[in-house]
Amino acid sequence: MNIVANPVTEANQTVYLKDYQKPSFLVDTVDLNIQVYADYTKVSSILSMQRQTAGDLVLLGRDLELQSIKINGVALDAAEYQLDSEQICIKNAPDIAKVEIEVIIHPESNTMLEGLYQAGDLFVTQNEPEGFRKITYYPDRPDVLSVFTTRVEADKKYPVLLANGNLLETGEVGAERHFAIWEDPTHKPSYLFACVIGDLAVLKDHYVTSEGRNVALEIYAIEKDIPKCQIAMNALKHSMRWDEEHYGRPYDLDNYMIVAVSQFNMGAMENKGLNIFNTSCVLADEEYTTDAAIMRVQSVIAHEYFHNWTGNRITCRDWFQLCLKEGLTVYRDQSFSEDLQSAAVQRIDDVEVLKAHQFPEDSGPLSHPPRPDHFVEINNFYTATVYEKGAEINRMMATLLGKEKFRQGTDEYFRRHDGQAVTVEDWISSLSAGSGVDLSAFLNWYNQPGTPKLTAHGEYDASTQRYRLSLEQSLKAHAKYPNLKDLPIPVALALFNPKTGEQYTLNCAALIENGVKDGVYLLDQQSAVIEFSGLSEQPVVSLLRNFSAPVNLEFNYSDAELAFLLQHETNGFNQWQATQTLLERILLEDHPAQIYIDAIKQTMPNVIAQDPLLASRLFDVASEGYLASRIDQDYQPEVVHEKREALLNALATALGEFCKETYLSLDVAAQADFSQAMGVRALKNIMLSLMARQGDHQVFDLAHTQYQDSSNMSERVGALKVLVWNDAPQAEQALQDFYHRYSDEALALDQWFMIQAAHPKATAERIAYLTSHADYDLGTPNRIRSVSGGLNANPINMWSFGVAHFIDLAKYLDEKNPIVGARLLQQLSRWYSLAEPQRSQTQSALQALHAQVKSKNVVETLNSMLAV
Ligand code: BES
Ligand code: ZN
């Protein structure tokens, strides 16, 4: 069969939201037959299609070997359709068309991990967003929903044959092969199709829904990893209960399966009833994975489960609406996690991610609205902006509405749109109608880029005991979006009496009644002034409590006021926020550090005693990478590094014996629950690293003992970092021990690679040693990320020899795995902020790369990155 290049799709690769058109044909049912052989896979499909509007019958397909195509039983000859590298187009198709297609595909050589691919001994699918078209010709777009029946056939050496829905039948094909037939009764888009073929063990459980449905729960993994699936199983049951209690959403099938895969581009995927997970997001065990990984597993399990309603039953009309499902589902998984550990700490962790990834993205060349209006490669838009800013928009609306009205709004959304493929407008309309509050102004948040600046200013009049707070929003001009609109910004706030340290009861008519104790003011125009009365002293104001809006706040606090909030703010999040603001002033604006150090010294003993988890976060000092993102030009990695080191050393010196005393007094075993124990472990590791700064070599003995005696991965890794990053005498031996101890544990080995790559004094040679190590594998994204992520932890290294590492990786992955290649490359997107000569050097390296790459993913990313 001759495949001709399509001049239209290749010359004009940009897709625009404004060009959306309904599909001309819908698919009522799909019958798939997937026959896996060692060196090819045959996919036969029967689509029952029905015309909906005028137009051609278009079936999308990529990298497929077409064997035959029939319509209503008659084979088409080449003149009856147009075939190119992207699609089959049939003109004048009958209104009712039974389309039968046979293709050959090659999962055994698919390195892109998209479509059907072989990962070790396992065959799995990844079809979001446009992978299904690599399995067979199909109207592969989210607004085409159909009922899938899937027959999977393979060699008996693969005993597990899975697909979405209910198992209808199994049987043998000759002596060597067998098959299974699955039917998914729900209507779903092709991106939610999945199948799995392999040799896996399974952990089983069950869950009875609020409607009385008994759901079989199954987590598949390689045999030795089954004990590491228990935390995920518990999190799954917890998520199912949580969605019933908080959103009234029970599960709708008789089974829910999760499969753990070690080679996976992303974290996990919500395929209907058959989630596929990166092992890093499902395996959890205190002995093998860190506390942070355990928390992540629980939130990813919840996230993919929550998609069953926000994503699967109600899906996206087109991929521009991606944040409809992702932003809402991230907001839901964040709320779930707030119930798992302390809500304040979860919020701190989430805002840290937002500020470290989304804010820089939105202020640089990759800035885009949460709902973009054009793209070349949709895989490039699974971004912090779509996910994290998308979640913040939903959080703002939830804050404004309060629990009860938000629930009425979501109920209305499910009532109106269950079973449909919808838009962001549909979501906002439902939420408005259900709650009775007009939220249409929030559409502006979805449609325009940039982090707004919120400038606040306070004036106190002692004679009237009144305080006037003026608020003003502004957005930096954006070349591609000239007409930026004012945004609705909920400002949660509290006022404190500086004499007593107590919170004032708010007396202000302008605040919103949302059933919450906090005062919330909605700034829905460019500027406003609000007035508080009955204040006996000039108040200290705490703004954006819980980070009520994703904005950059400018307020002329004195350092003393920030130190006051560090000590007296009762909202744990804002206590952390005040600390971070103070630190930014010290590290970026050369304010004196003493006031911070004194406040920490004074406050921490109490906080440690009351809430070790929160205490561990209050010791946060913004990373060099985050600090860099606050600098838009002439950024010198060494300067930021030295300032930050000086501050940490001063803190360590000032804390003196406190670090060791605290270290020795902390008792993991005495903690009431996992989250407090996690806090104690984090604190112990912080104390160790501060002690290492005090130059007391005894710390290495403590660290070494912790390394050896603990069977908990957070403690082991924490101690190993202290040894390795300080070049302790025990470092090499500990690294070797770790390697041998976990030689068969891929996720632990990822830590081994990461810790070495993240050595502050890592060299190009050290990185080369790691990337040429026998356990390094360019086919496993987790392993690649462990080295490049480690390297990225130290901007001095990253922006010197690291640039070549990332460029080489992008060049290689451009062909082998462009999705991951483009994502990794994004980490160089702030090159333009560097001081010379690094700026020009990096720019030249990126330009040289541009001339050598071909994939839409990498080319689009480079085009945006270089357009500054
Ligand atoms: N639907 C996505 C997974 C996905 C994204 C697959 C892009 C293919 C391309 C899934 O629901 C998701 O969002 N996963 C996140 C983790 C989640 C907890 C935010 C991921 O994979 O990083
Ligand atoms: Zn998701």
Are 434 and 408 within 8 A, CB to CB? yes
Q: How many CA atoms lie within 13 A of 106 on its CB side?
A: 9
3-state secondary structure of 116: strand
How sure is the predictor about 696, in pLDDT bands with cuts at 50, 70 and 90?
confident
Q: Is the pLDDT of residue 469 over 80?
A: yes
Which atom of ligand 1 is found nearest the CA of 382?
7
307 lines ligand 1 (CB under 6 A): yes
pLDDT at position 12 is 59
Q: Is there an atom of ligand 1 within 6 Å of 114 CB? A: no
Owner of token pair 């994503």: 311
- Domain annotation for the chain: domains and CATH numbers: 29-198 (2.60.40.1730), 200-316 (3.30.2010.30), 317-447 (1.10.390.10), 453-556 (2.60.40.1840)
Task: Give the DSSP H or E segment for 606.
Answer: helix 594-610
What's the 135 CA to ligand 1 centre distance in angstroms?
A: 20
Token code pair at residue 658: 């406190």
Task: Say what percent of the chain tops pLDDT 90.
Answer: 96
**CB of residue 392 inside a 6 A radius of ligand 1:** no
Distance 87 CA to ligand 1 centre (A): 26
Ligand 1 midpoint to CA 348 (Å): 22
pLDDT recorded at residue 479: 86
pLDDT of amino acid 518: 73
Give the tens place of pLDDT for each residue, 815-853.
Answer: 999 999 999 999 999 999 999 999 999 999 999 999 999
- The set of residues, in sequence order, having a beta carbon less than 8 Å from that of 587 and lying 6+ positions away, is 621, 622, 627, 640, 643, 644, 647
Distance 383 CA to ligand 2 centre (A): 11
Per-residue pLDDT averaged across 253-270, rounded? 98
Is the predicted pLDDT of residue 569 greater than 60, yes or no? yes
Average pLDDT value over all residues in the chain: 96
Q: What pLDDT score was predicted for residue 517? A: 61
CB of 377 within 6 A of ligand 1: the answer is no
pLDDT of residue 7: 41
In short, whether 368's Cβ falls inside 6 Å of ligand 1 is no
Residue 355 token pair: 């500020």
Q: Whose CA is closest to 155, among 116, 198, 124?
A: 198
Cβ–Cβ < 8 Å for 481, 448: yes
Q: How many CB atoms lie within 10 A of CB 214?
A: 10
What is the C-alpha to C-alpha distance for residues 715 and 709, in angstroms, rounded to an integer? 9
The catalytic residue positions are 304
What tens digit of pLDDT does each residue of 770-802 get?
999 999 999 999 999 999 999 999 999 999 999
Range list of H helices, 611-696:
612-618, 624-629, 637-655, 658-665, 674-693
Give the per-residue pLDDT at 4.
46
What DSSP letter does each residue of 750-813 carry, written as one string? HHHHHHHHT-TT--HHHHHHHHTSTT--TT-HHHHHHHHHHHHT-HHHHTTHHHHHHHHHHHHH
Cβ 179 under 6 angstroms from ligand 1: no
Cis upstream peptide for 498 (omega within 30°): no
Are 522 and 469 in contact by the 8 Å Cβ rule? The answer is no
Give the CA radius of gyration of the chain.
28
pLDDT above 90 for 252: yes
Mean pLDDT of 592-615: 96
Determine the length of the chain.
868
CB 592 within 8 A of CB 551: no
| Interval between CA 267 and ligand 1 midpoint (Å) | 6
Mean pLDDT value of segment 199-225? 98
SS3 215: strand
Contact 488, 453 (CB under 8 A): no
User: pLDDT tens digits, residue range 366-421?
Assistant: 999 999 999 999 999 999 999 999 999 999 999 999 999 999 999 999 999 999 99
Ligand positioned closest to the Cα atom of 300: 1
Mutate to test the pocket of ligand 1, among 117, 382, 817 (most ligand atoms within 8 A of CB): 382
Q: In the prediction, which pLDDT does 553 show? A: 98
CA distance from start to end of the chain = 44
Phi, psi of 510 (to 5 degrees): -85, -5
Q: Name the β-bridge partners of 68.
A: 102
194: left (phi over 0), alpha (psi -120 to 50) or beta: beta
User: Which ligand 1 atom lies nearest to the CA of residue 270?
Assistant: 11
Q: From the CB of 267, is ligand 1 less than 6 Å away?
A: yes
Cβ–ligand 1 distance for 330 under 6 Å, the answer yes
> Do the beta carbons of residue 742 and residue 713 sit within 8 Å?
no
Beta-carbon contacts of residue 478 (< 8 Å; ≥ 6 apart): 367, 448, 449, 450, 484
Whether 700 and 707 have beta carbons less than 8 Å apart is answered as: no
pLDDT digits (tens, 9 = 90+) for 524-566: 999 999 999 999 999 999 999 999 999 999 999 999 999 999 9
Q: With 0.85 as the threshold, say if the pTM is over it.
A: yes
Q: How far apart are CA 607 and CA 854, in angstroms?
A: 54
Q: And the tokens for 36? A: 């896996």
Are 582 and 566 contacting, i.e. CB atoms less than 8 angstroms apart? yes
Which residue, 643, 131, 548, is CA-closest to 377?
131
Q: Is residue 285 over pLDDT 70?
A: yes
Q: What is the mean pLDDT of residues 686-710?
A: 96
**The predicted structure's pLDDT at residue 697:** 86
Query: Position 388: which residue type?
Result: E
Q: What is the pLDDT of residue 759?
A: 98
Q: Kindly report the number of other CB atoms within 10 A of residue 291's CB atom.
A: 24
DSSP 130-168: TTGGGTS-B--STT--EEEEEEEEEETT--EEEESSEEE
Say if ligand 1 is within 6 A of residue 326 CB: yes
Rounded CA-CA distance 736/723 in Å is 12
pLDDT at 336 over 70: yes
Cβ atoms within 10 Å, residue 190: 25
Q: What is the mean pLDDT of residues 322-338?
A: 98
Atom nearest to 268 CA in ligand 1: 21
Closest ligand 1 atom to Cα of 278: 21
**Structure-token pair, residue 735:** 């690294």
Distances (CA, A) of 489 to 468, 551, 760: 18, 9, 40
Ligand 1 atom having least distance to the Cα of 819: 9
What 8-state DSSP symbol labels residue 829? T
Q: In which residue are the tokens 């930026």 written? A: 484
Give the separation between CA 591 and CA 578, rounded to whole angstroms: 15
Q: How confident is the model at residue 516 (pLDDT cuts 50, 70, 90)?
A: low
In the prediction, which pLDDT does 5 show? 44
Instruction: Give per-residue pLDDT as tens, 630-686.
Output: 999 999 999 999 999 999 999 999 999 999 999 999 999 999 899 999 999 999 999
- Among protein residues, the one with the nearest Cα to ligand 1's atom 8 is 128
Query: With bands split at pLDDT 50, 70 and 90, how would you rate the model's confidence at 515?
Result: low
Tell which residue, 593, 599, 531, has the closest CA to residue 561: 599
Protein residues near ligand 2, an ion, with CB under 5 A: 326, 329
CA–centroid distance, 382 to ligand 1, in Å, is: 8
Which residue's CA is minimally distant from atom 22 of ligand 1? 267
